[in-house]
Amino acid sequence: MGQNLTTSWSRGPIVLVAALAGPPAVAAVLATLRDSFSAADAGLVLVLLVVAVAATGNRLAGGLAALSAGVWFDFFLTQPYHRFTIEDRQDIETTVLLLLVGTLVTELSVWGHRQQVAANRQAGYLAGIQDAAESLADDASPTEVIDQVRGQLTRMLRLRDCRFDFGRGVVGGDHPQLLRNGLVEVQGAICDVEHLGLPISQDIELPVRGGDGHQGLFLLSASPDSRPSIAQRLMAVALAERVGAALAGYQAGSK
């Protein structure tokens, strides 16, 4: 994770330089070959350059590359040359298309990178469910399992506090509840956790089930910056089920 961030930051200035300096350099070279290239063909070459910059997923760099390509296409490759003026209608259309295509490709690339990052993050969290569950010692007592899971929930969900209640009363009521599908329900309505964060006015109930049914619940005290993803919330549910299995197994063994 840290290595990826470092790589991303180190690439940023290089991509921005390429976005600003690449189009005028390429356009200047193409200007020496005007007798061999039509303006439309030269525009396609500049589009390829914009696509290469946009493929990095850097929206600013992609936008600058598209704008720079349009400006220097006008300056070097449309008549009158070496002036920011276009007289031919076809060259005007090519310039506009260059800007539009460059902007569109940039947005598509940014969207694709976001989808890939989101998919990788979710896959990592879901894979972490198994890792987190396997980190609980098989021979640990129920109290030890509960303590381990409390710590994992606190770190994963960015909680102020996490407690376990062995109570077997009615679960829910006015308290928010983390459901088995990873959604958070508040008085019958689903909370938009990704944008609004976890409810902080009340503890959130995470039911623990196993064996014959209800084994207790975790009480989650969220902090204002608690915005766990759906994958993280599903992992929390899986950990709670691991606790439920441990409690049910302990009860069965003590009979």
Helix (H, G, I), strand (E, B) or coil at 88: coil
Reference 70, options 99, 45, 92; nearest CA is: 99
Q: What is the pLDDT of residues 64-87, one digit of tens each?
A: 888 888 888 888 888 788 887 777
Q: What is the pLDDT of residues 20-40, one digit of tens each?
A: 888 899 989 988 887 787 777
Reference 226, options 204, 185, 198; nearest CA is: 198
Instruction: Answer whether 248's CB lies under 8 Å from 212's CB.
Output: yes
What's this model's pTM, rounded to 2 decimal places?
Answer: 0.53
Confidence of residue 218 (pLDDT cuts 50, 70, 90): very high
Single-letter residue type at 211: G
CA distances from 26 to 21, 44, 52, 68, 92 (A): 9, 12, 13, 11, 19
Residues paired with 189 in a beta bridge: 186
> Domain coordinates of the chain in residue numbers?
2-123, 137-254
26: tokens are: 């390429």
Contacts of 1 (CB under 8 A, 6+ apart): none
CA gap 196, 158 in Å, rounded: 14
Dihedral angle at the C-alpha atoms of 228, 234, 239, 243, nearest 10 degrees? 120
Q: What angle do CA 172, 183, 129 make, to 5 degrees?
A: 110
Class of domain 137-254: alpha beta
Confidence of residue 1 (pLDDT cuts 50, 70, 90): very low
